[in-house]
Structure 1
Amino acid sequence: MKYIIAIAGLVAVFAMTYFASNDRSRIRYRPLVQMIILQIVLAFLLLNTTLGETLIRGFTSVFEALLAYAAEGVNFVFGGIMNEGTTSQFFLMVLMPIVVISALIGILQYLKILPFIIRYIGLALSKVNGMGKLESYNAVASAILGQSEVFISVKKQIGLLPERRLYTLCASAMSTVSMSIVGAYMTMIEPRYVVTALVLNLFGGFIIASILNPYRVSKEEDILEVQKERRQSFFEMLGEYIMDGFRVAITVAAMLIGFVALIALINGLFGSLFGITFQQILGYIFSPFAFLMGVPWKEAVEAGNIMATKMVANEFVAMLDLSTMTKEGALSARTIGIVSVFLVSFANFSSIGIISGAVKGLHEEQGNTVARFGLRLLYGATLVSVLSATVAGLFL
């Protein structure tokens, strides 16, 4: 039965993408079929094989070690308030390690290791996805550098891009998550679902963009010019990345304070006026999508609630809700896995502002272009999350 529902879910995703396409005559089906097969094979390897389990365990152990090292620094500064059960645990143990991981990314950038990895994985992807080198590079770089920082590395080309190529770049940035916060996710949901989502979203972004926004890149246009960073001393670079990581952590904390409080306020108002909370209403709206992703119908409203929270607020708020439901035993293991994969992306309303602001900072006119197709961007990125969760659900 789950395979029938999964097939129905995949058909629904592709139908919603196909009928929203801006030029169906340009869709190229061969690269699409290749990427869908790759998604299914990779999901099977990661979730149902010893090799996948070993790879995920290795990836997880690296981040567990980093979080342990980060705890040393956090404990040195905040040791007096790091008592078990205190309300400061989330900020200290989930958000503060972002500073350390950001510093490590800076070191790998400085040593030219990350640029090498990003460039050549991107080139390999371009042979599969039927898109340009720039689009492929951008997708890999977004998953490592972040949804706003990635545009700095290709700023030489931002002003020269037509709207369709710019859309694909922005869609990749919204469909992935930056490596600096992967460790934070792993403290809230199972690491294997984080890793699975990272891999599936990489291909899912190309699949949805290839249907929603199809085009061809000529040989003359297929160039990649990566901005060389200003040469810094090692410690100047390290200080910059540490402060960048701290700003990300503080920004996430501020957004959580605001969104959690506002959702509580809106829930209270709806409860008083209508006898049903705002999140419950959203849960009913999103429940059919949760069901098509493979969530059992009896849990579809709760899953839809979490999915809607992610879109309206952000993935951190939704992950906190999922963690609470998991501890209460309100959801089955299958539902937790499917919803976890769905949550690992930047597909939410606030990302529209973040991405358009990042592009606008580099090129005013192109930033305005991104703002104009912002809702279409969110639509595509959300379908990427639904697609990844549906494929993962086949093997849970």
Structure 2
Amino acid sequence: MNYIISIVGLIVVLGLAWIASSNRKEIKVRPIIQMLILQLILSFLLLNTKFGLIIIEGIAAVFTKLLDFANEGISFVFGGIANEGQAPFFLNVLLPIVFISALIGILQYIKVLPFIMKWLGWGISKVNGLGKLESYNGVASAIVGQSEVFITVKKQLGQLSSQRLYTLCASAMSTVSMSIVGAYMTMVEPRYVVTAIVVNLFGGFIIASIINPYNVTEEEDILVVQEEKQSFFEMLGEYIMDGFKVAIVVAAMLIGFVALMAGVNTLFDMVLGISFQEIIGYIFAPFAILMGIPVSESVTAGGIMATKLVTNEFVAMLSLNDLASNLSERSIGIISVFLVSFANFSSIGIISGAVKGLHEKQGNVVARMGLKLLYGATLVSVLTAIIVSFIL
């Protein structure tokens, strides 16, 4: 029965993407089928095999060690601020982003990350039927982040058609950056975080290929990666400050959104006898069912999904941890992979602002297609959850 529901869910998601397609005649079916099969294989390897377990444990161990290193710096600055045995969210989850951001900067500076992003993107372009630039951007977004990635391709921004620009922005919104992965792993099982990152990469290409199909000529598909010329310590200082800004911004968003959600829930409960999260849970419950969540848990799951869309993934992950006792292990896994992406309303502003800072005209183009970007990125999250539901 689970397989039947997952197949129906897959058809519905692809159908919703097809309905929003700008040119249905140009949709390339073969690359989409190839990527769906690849998603299933990768999900199975990562979640259901000993090889996958070794990979996940290795990645988790690396990030655990990185978090330990980060805590050395945090303890030096903030030591004694928390009572013994307490684990403040800002100190333990958000501030390690500063150190991981610095590490990414070093790997970028010594040309390790550019090499990986360029050649991995080239390999993926052979599978997805898209251009080298789009494939590079998908990989780069998962490493350097949804706003920083546009700096690496800023030379091409002014030359891109709106179709190609959509795909670049959709990839950025559908994935997450390496600097924030460690924070996720403190809230969600590492195996779900890693699986979601890998599967989302191809999911972004699948949905974009349906919603926004186009052809790229060899002359148009030139990959020139922009590299900032900076001294080592200039670069290091910049990445450290960028990491700190991310931590502060996320903290501010959490303070505002969690407080607002608590207030709105109380208001709805007083007036209607039902919380706001429960109401939006009913709206998203059908999608939760299509993702393989049992009907009895679908409203709870739908509320968490909607929370992620209207606030951000951190608020939703906190909500998942609070409500985990009401959900089965399989449901927790499905919801977890759904949450690992930047698909929310605030990302529209972040991405359009990042592009506008580099090219004002193209930034305005991105802003105009913001809701379509969010629609596609949300479908990517649902698609990833459905793919994982086949395996769990």
Question: Which category describes the TM-score, using the shorter chain as reference length?
Answer: over 0.9
| Other structure's SS at 1:22 match | coil
Equivalent position amino acid for 1:128 in 2: V
What is the CA distance between 1:231 and its match in structure 2? 2.7
Cα shift readout 1:178-199 (whole Å, capped 9, x = no counterpart): 0000000000010000000000
2:213 paired with 1:217: no
What is the CA distance between 1:85 and its match in structure 2? 5.2
2:109 paired with 1:110: yes
What is the CA distance between 1:84 and its match in structure 2? 4.2
Q: 2:358 aligns with which of 351, 356, 362?
A: 362
Aligned to 1:316: 314
Aligned to 2:97: 98
2:373 paired with 1:381: no
**Over the residues paired in the alignment, what is the CA RMSD in angstroms?**
0.9
* Percent of residue pairs identical: 69
Q: Is the 8 A contact 1:204 1:384 kept in 2?
A: yes
Q: Partners in 2 of 1:92 and 1:383 — Cα distance?
A: 33
Q: Partners in 2 of 1:367 and 1:312 — Cα distance?
A: 22
Q: 2:388 aligns with which of 354, 376, 392?
A: 392
Q: Partners in 1 of 2:316 and 2:137 — Cα distance?
A: 27
What is the CA distance between 1:71 and its match in structure 2? 1.1
Aligned to 1:226: 225
2:269 paired with 1:271: yes
Q: Partners in 2 of 1:228 and 1:89 — Cα distance?
A: 37
| Other structure's SS at 2:160 match | coil
Q: 1:306 aligns with which of 291, 304, 307?
A: 304
Cα shift readout 1:51-77 (whole Å, capped 9, x = no counterpart): 011111111110000011111111111
Map 1:31-70; keep pairs closer than 5 Å: 31-70=31-70
Q: Partners in 1 of 2:279 and 2:323 — Cα distance?
A: 18
Ranges in structure 2 where 5+ consecutive residues have no aligned partner: none
| Other structure's SS at 1:295 match | coil
2:75 paired with 1:75: yes
2:372 paired with 1:372: no
Cα shift readout 1:8-32 (whole Å, capped 9, x = no counterpart): 1101101111111111000011111
Q: Partners in 2 of 1:348 and 1:297 — Cα distance?
A: 25
Q: Partners in 2 of 1:81 and 1:331 — Cα distance?
A: 35
Q: Partners in 2 of 1:304 and 1:44 — Cα distance?
A: 25
Aligned to 1:148: 147
Q: Partners in 2 of 1:242 and 1:362 — Cα distance?
A: 21
| Other structure's SS at 1:81 match | coil
Equivalent position amino acid for 2:119 in 1: Y
Aligned to 2:326: 330
More displaced stretch, 355-364 vs 223-232: 223-232
What is the CA distance between 1:103 and its match in structure 2? 0.7
Once superposed, which parts of structure 1, at least 4 consecutive aligned residues long, lie more than 6 Å away? none
Q: Is the 8 A contact 1:75 1:82 kept in 2?
A: no
What is the CA distance between 1:285 and its match in structure 2? 0.3
Q: Partners in 2 of 1:85 and 1:307 — Cα distance?
A: 31
Cα 1:308–1:85 change in 2 (3 A) is farther
Q: Is the 8 A contact 1:314 1:346 kept in 2?
A: yes
2:136 paired with 1:133: no
What is the CA distance between 1:83 and its match in structure 2? 2.6
Equivalent position amino acid for 2:44 in 1: F
What is the CA distance between 1:237 and its match in structure 2? 1.6
Map 1:171-320; keep pairs closer than 5 Å: 171-232=170-231, 234-320=232-318
TM-score (norm 1): 0.98
| Other structure's SS at 2:192 match | helix
| Other structure's SS at 2:326 match | coil
Aligned length: 392
Q: Partners in 2 of 1:275 and 1:91 — Cα distance?
A: 33
Q: Partners in 2 of 1:85 and 1:292 — Cα distance?
A: 41
More displaced stretch, 269-278 vs 174-183: 269-278
Cα shift readout 1:331-386 (whole Å, capped 9, x = no counterpart): 11001000000000000000000000111111111111111110000000000000
More displaced stretch, 202-211 vs 68-77: 68-77
| Other structure's SS at 1:80 match | coil
Cα shift readout 1:210-259 (whole Å, capped 9, x = no counterpart): 00100010111111111121232x22221111111111000000000111
Equivalent position amino acid for 2:82 in 1: M
Q: Partners in 2 of 1:389 and 1:271 — Cα distance?
A: 30
